[in-house]
Amino acid sequence: MRGALDFIFPVQCGRCDQLGNGFCASCYAQCELQQISAGGIAVRGLGLYAGTLRRAILNMKDGRRDVAEALACCFSRLVEDGDVLVPVPTTFVRRLQRGFDGAEVLAMCASANRATRVDAEALAGRTVVLVDDVLTTGVTVTDCAATIAAAGGLVKRTVVLAVNP
């Protein structure tokens, strides 16, 4: 099935249109790793939400699953062995518009590689890493951290695709 789909809609870089990968190696090389703090929580991002990375993320948000999966593959390099990932919930409307949940796809792909993933019900006593696509104001991170703390968990880090400059 995937083979037939590749023929009709070939996998193509969401930034430069090169065939074969949803986010190609040369576009990935242009990203500059970000390490900042939002509301006292350490944040790691693949790059700034600008230029190359911004265009790829917009393609992902338009529903390009090949771009989402390729970005998730780059993203998994920010995740460490043993990290317990919790995707920041996407609002229902956003999910309907794009057909899938960006943070969910990222967390799934990253956990396939090195980390584990938990649902909101299993937070008590756990130290977790939040996953989101773009860090804008940091309010979402602070809100989620408070919710997780109320459920008995602790956020040690947030990993995002991009950080708003």
Q: Which stretch binds Zn ion (CB under 5 A): 5-13, 74-82, 107-115, 135-143?
A: 5-13
Does the protein bind Zn ion through residue 38 (CB under 5 A)?
no
Does the protein bind Zn ion through residue 24 (CB under 5 A)?
yes
Annotate each residue in 111-150 with x if it binds Zn ion (CB under 5 A) or - if it does not, as one string.
----------------------------------------
Taking 3-state DSSP, the helix, strand and coil percentages for the chain, each rounded to the nearest 5, stand at 45, 25, 35
Q: Which stretch binds Zn ion (CB under 5 A): 19-27, 30-38, 57-65, 143-151?
A: 19-27
Q: Which of 11, 12, 22, 27 touches Zn ion (CB under 5 A)? A: 27
Cβ neighbours of residue 18 closer than 8 Å, sequence gap 6 or more: 12, 24, 26
CA–CA separation, 23 vs 18, rounded Å?
A: 9
State how far the alpha carbon of 25 is from the alpha carbons of 53, 71, 74, in Å: 12, 11, 9
Whichever of 43 and 161 has its CB closer to Zn ion, that residue is: 161
Does the protein bind Zn ion through residue 53 (CB under 5 A)?
no
34-38 β-sheet, strand order: 34-38, 41-48, 154-163, 127-135, 84-87, 116-117
- DSSP letter, residue 18: -
Q: Which of 15, 44, 64, 117 touches Zn ion (CB under 5 A)? A: 15
Does the protein bind Zn ion through residue 54 (CB under 5 A)?
no
Whichever of 16 and 58 has its CB closer to Zn ion, that residue is: 16
